[in-house]
Copies of this chain bind each other. A is one copy, B any other.
Amino acid sequence: MQYREMDKAALQTELEKCRSEFEAQKAKGLKLDMSRGKPGKAQLDLVSDILTVLSDPSECMADGMDVRNYGVLAGLPSAQALFAEILGCKASECFIGGSASLTLMYDTISKAYTHGLLHSEQPWSKLEKVRFLCPAPGYDRHFRITESFGAELITVPMTPTGPDMDLVEELVKDPAVKGIWCVPKYSNPDGIVYSRETVSRFANLKPAAPDFALMWDNAYCVHEFDGDFLPFDDILSLCREAGNPDMVYEFASTSKITFPGAGISVMATSEANQKYLQKLMGVQMISYDKVNQLRHVKYLKDREGTLSLMKKHAAILKPKFEMVLDTLEREIAPLGIAEWQKPKGGYFVSVNTADGLAKRTLALCKEAGVVMTGAGATFPYGKDPRDRNIRIAPSLPPVEELRQAMEIFCISLRLAALEQLLG
């Protein structure tokens, strides 16, 4: 029975029942961190062979160079080719980075501020106002980059097919709107896959700013945990066809394919952007770690090799997501106090509670030993206007721990809802 259909006496009984359940959970003294989308140990152990794939100096020759030595700013051609095959773009459009695509994103925004992008009339630091669109709920680290540079963050609501495109098309008429953060496949945190229409409307945007940056973080491009690989349109081609060849900057990495702390990353963007940005990047670096690039090329081989590894990750992740979704379905769905998507890929389950319950729920979770991503983190400035979005990251704990954590989460949410209803 839904809580809102119960009378006060029934709610009171339920509250007492929940309180004693909560206290019992708390007494177990659990300590669990589910705040970040960290792969678990079993996933890391999957890829141990990458440690030894390069073990002899003779294997360090690749693409006509000794990868141990200096040089080749854009990265190993075979690493460019690997990412190009995965993303569907050209190798010449790929710049290979280090262990974090986040750094490539930050550096792109940073250079927009200090030097300007290819079509900038002046560096953004010289402008009175820079606005940046933030589909929310979204990825806190994205929002924080543009916030850190002083941009005004504008929230764009998410829909089941991606960001609200009517609103996006309206907002980009403002020349101070300089870009938007997107996670197009298995969005962080909702796990939504942008529809073909949404993707096409993005490619065909007509922003007033000539240097509008479509920040396309394809973090989960091959990260299905349920079912087969889902083909996805190449945004670079679509932008080119739409007459916006230099508008998009796409990012991806192997952080959740090989090692989160020691992967490689890519920024895919038009050859004209590459030429412009590499001139600036040549002042900042000689190249990212090419030995590690070669390790990845030898280990992953190609798109097929990568997808077959992702099937192994999926086998580990699927039971964890099922535990989360099944528990929510059983414990929460009948009460009518929250809704959620049922993603088939990515790293999160995003729960929208009834308004005003997120902070309290997470405070209760913490009290009982379960740390989740902070309430509000998925919104610009860390402020969820309806205080309702909670990001659950099931990847790190083993299934049994996850079961306990989800029990605590559900009882915390129920308690928070009851406290609110009983005012």
User: Which residues of A are at the interface with B, using a C-beta cutoff of 8 A?
Assistant: 36, 38-39, 41, 44-45, 48, 51-52, 54-57, 60, 66-71, 98-100, 102-103, 106-107, 110, 113-115, 123, 125, 141, 144-145, 148-149, 255, 259-262, 280, 283-292
Contacts and interface: CB of A to CB of B under 8 A. Distances in A.
Nearest to A141: B283
Contact of A70 (B107, B113, B260): B260
Given A48-B57, A284-B106, A289-B261, A69 B38 contact: yes
A280 B148 contact: yes
A207 to B, nearest CB: 23
B286 A289 contact: no
Contacts of A107: 284
A100 B260 contact: no
Contact of A56 (B48, B66, B125, B148): B48
Nearest to A65: B261
B260 A289 contact: no
Nearest to A111: B110
Contacts of A283: 106, 141, 144-145, 148
Count the copies. Answer: 2
Contacts of A44: 57, 60, 66, 68-69
Nearest to A126: B125
Contacts of A114: 110, 113-114, 125, 149
Given A100-B285, A113-B114, A56 B67 contact: no
Contact of A69 (B259, B287, B289): B259
Contacts of A292: 262, 289, 292
Contacts of A60: 44, 51
17 contacts: A38-B71, A44-B69, A67-B261, A68-B261, A69-B261, A70-B255, A70-B261, A99-B287, A102-B284, A102-B285, A102-B286, A106-B283, A106-B284, A115-B148, A144-B283, A261-B290, A262-B292
Contact of A52 (B55, B68, B103): B55
A80 to B, nearest CB: 16
Residue among A51, A55, A145, A287 with the most chain B CB within 10 A?
A51
Given A68-B259, A115-B148, 16 more contacts: A38-B71, A41-B66, A44-B66, A44-B69, A52-B52, A68-B260, A70-B255, A71-B261, A98-B289, A99-B286, A99-B289, A100-B285, A106-B284, A113-B114, A114-B149, A141-B283
Contacts of A103: 284-285
